[in-house]
Each structure stands twice: as C-alpha cells, then as structure tokens.
Amino acid sequence: MTNFKRGFLAILALIAVAAISPVSAQQQPPANNDAVLLEQLKAPVQGRVSIPDAKSGTLIQPQGREWREMREGPLKSVGGWLLVLVVLALAAFMALRGRIKVDHGMSGRTIERFNGVERFAHWLVASCFIVLGLSGLNLTFGLSIVRPIVGPEAFASLTQAGKIAHNYLSFPFCLGVLLMAAMWIRHNIFNAVDAEWFAQGGGLLKKDVHPPAGKFNGGQKVLFWLVVLGSVALAVSGYMLMFPFYFTDIAGMQLSQLVHAIAGILLVAVILAHIYIGSIGMEGAFDAMGSGQVDVNWAKEHHSLWVKEQLGGKAAADD
C-alpha cells in the first residue's frame, strides 16, 4: 500500500517534471519504458515466484542504494569521527581537570556500595559489551583499520569469530541488562536533587564542589537510561538481524542494520566516558564495582544522601 502510494506520488512528480521540461521526457530510452519508469520511481518491483523462498519475489529493490550510501557514508564518517572526538574530549578533560581526587582524603573506613549480585550483573554486561562493541565496530571500521595490519585471511577469520561471539554474547548481555534494570530502576527516577546536581555541573568541573546525590547522581541516571533504552534498541534490531527475514522484509532488515549500527556507536561513545570516569578519571570510583566497598569520604562527597540513608544517625554525627 505504501509502495503503491509512493509510486503514485512519484508518477505525479514525473508528470509534473515532464510537463515542465519536455527534453527530459524525450531522454527516456524507448526500449526501456516500464522498467526504467519503475526503477526511477525507486519503488521495489514485486512479483511471484514458484520457489519456496517468498522474499525472492522482489525483482528489484532500489532502496538498497540508500542503505549502501548510509553505511558507506555517514555511518563510517560521522560515526568514526564521533568516536575520535569522544576520546579527544576525554583526553582534554583529563589534561585540564586531572584525576578527580577525594577532597577530604581517604578516611580508611569503607561502606558497601554494590553487593555481589549488583557487581555480577555489571561485569556480566561490561565483559559482554566489550566483545560485542569491538566485534561490532570491526564490521564497520575493521576493513580500513584492522585488515591492512593483519591481512585479508586473518581479518576474515577474526571477523567470522567476532560474528559468532556477537551472536552468542547477545543473550547474557540482555540478561545482565534486565538484571541491572530490575535492581536499579527505582534508584534512577529523576527528581529535584538531580536538577541541582546538573546545575552545579555534577561537581565534576571544580574542586570542592559536591552537589548532593542519592545512590545514583543525575549523570549516572542519564547513563542508566541510555544503557537500558540503548540496549532495548540494540536487542530488538539485533534479533531482527540474527533471525533474518523471520519478522520483517528487506526494508525492515536494512532499517534494523542501521538502527543497530547507530545505537551501537552511540552506546560505545557513552560507555567510553563511563569507563574513563569509573577508572582513571576519579579516585575511589573503581572500588564501587571492584570490591564493592567504597571509602566513606568518597561516598560522602559523591553520594551524600545515600550515605546518610545507609549510616542513619551515625553519618550525621560524623559531619
């Protein structure tokens, strides 16, 4: 129906063009009439086949051209530059701000921030994501970066292994994200505290600025929702690709590939920043997901409301 409509509109457009410029109408090769017309309409040509493969009834699908242009164009150029810029921005941030220190120094006393199950879910997702991300980026950028280094054969084997890993690891990845979502969703509802946190730039930009925050601060809530929603987009589009033509037609497959690639690149960009701030970017931050025990002073500076809630009156007395 939509194809029909599109075709109809295009015919109208063609008539209009022909009316204005008779020359262009005459340029149509006479021997090629209907086929040329159909192909210029950019609509798929659909017919019937006597073999079981029903999708092969599409004789010509011109929209593959647009898919190719997207993949070879913006996906590689814009996507590639986005990742380069994120890395440069993080490097610049490190150069200007340095490692964010615990302003009051380490207290030596610790408090449990993430229990075993929370850390298991995080590292399950994280380890899968690293393989998924690298094997995914390899499909788009490997040809220009990895192949010249390792050669065509090794690159093909590597990419093949990456494809298999990518397919299988999608399952534990999705499970981990579901687990994290179930455990943390109630801590990630935005509220007035977050508005204040954002107003103060999260305290990231200056020393001795520590806006109050609960278990998760505004930035972490944004990360949470980007990961959860990004994973939903990746899972839906990804399973479309993994079960080709089970749920959709060629246009749906092309769309799925683009959605998957774009969501993937964006999430990789976000996670690069997450990895930076959770490791070398901030003193004391890694312990939260490492041992699960964070220094009380670190916690007071970055998650004051949460510490109060955890320690009750004791934290108040310490202040």
Partner 1 sequence: MARMKFLCDSERCIECNACVTACKNEHEVPWGINRRRVVTLNDGQKGERSISMACMHCEDAPCMAVCPVDCFYKTEEGVVLHSKDLCIGCGYCFYACPFGAPQYPKVGNFGSRGKMDKCTFCAGGPEADNSKEEYAKYGANRLAEGKLPLCAEMCSTKALLAGDGDVIASIYKERVSRRGYGSGAWGWSTAYKGGLGA
Alpha-carbon Rg of the chain, whole angstroms? 26
Least Å from the CB of residue 270 to partner 1? 24
Least Å from the CB of residue 46 to partner 1? 8
Is residue 250 at the binding interface for partner 1, with CB under 8 A as the rule?
A: yes
Plot region of 201 (φ>0 → left; ψ -120 to 50 → alpha; else → beta): left
Nearest C-alpha neighbor of 230 from the set 257, 260, 254, 255: 260
- Find out whether 310 and 317 touch, Cβ atoms under 8 Å: no
Nearest C-alpha neighbor of 301 from the set 217, 238, 176: 217
Q: What count of Cα atoms within 13 Å lies in the side-chain half-sphere of residue 184?
A: 28
Segment interacting with partner 1 (CB under 8 A) among 13-21, 26-34, 84-92, 270-278: 26-34
Least Å from the CB of residue 223 to partner 1? 30
Is residue 7 at the binding interface for partner 1, with CB under 8 A as the rule?
A: no
Phi first, then psi: what are they for 98, rounded to 5°? 70, -170
3-state SS record for 254-276 = HHHHHHHHHHHHHHHHHHHHHHH
Is residue 172 at the binding interface for partner 1, with CB under 8 A as the rule?
A: no
- The residues in 38-67 that bind partner 1, with binding defined as CB under 8 A, are 38-40, 45-53, 55-62, 64-65, 67
d(CA 245, CA 257): 12
Least Å from the CB of residue 55 to partner 1? 7
Which listed residue (124, 140, 217, 282) binds partner 1 by CB under 8 A?
Answer: 140
Nearest C-alpha neighbor of 75 from the set 274, 257, 250, 273: 257
d(CA 97, CA 283): 13
- Find out whether 240 and 252 touch, Cβ atoms under 8 Å: yes
Least Å from the CB of residue 238 to partner 1? 11
Compute how many residues bind partner 1; rule: CB under 8 A: 58
Is residue 101 at the binding interface for partner 1, with CB under 8 A as the rule?
A: no
Non-local (6+) Cβ contacts of 156 within 8 A are none
- The residues in 256-315 that bind partner 1, with binding defined as CB under 8 A, are 257
Which listed residue (16, 17, 20, 72) binds partner 1 by CB under 8 A?
Answer: 72
Least Å from the CB of residue 141 to partner 1? 9
Least Å from the CB of residue 310 to partner 1? 45
Is residue 242 at the binding interface for partner 1, with CB under 8 A as the rule?
A: yes
d(CA 43, CA 63): 8
Segment interacting with partner 1 (CB under 8 A) among 14-22, 104-112, 141-149, 306-314: 141-149
Q: How far is CA 284 from the centre of its chain?
A: 27
Segment interacting with partner 1 (CB under 8 A) among 16-24, 90-98, 248-256, 289-297: 248-256
Rule CB under 8 A: which residues touch partner 1? 29-36, 38-40, 45-53, 55-62, 64-65, 67-68, 71-72, 138-140, 142-143, 147, 152-153, 155-156, 159-160, 163, 167, 241-246, 250, 253-254, 257
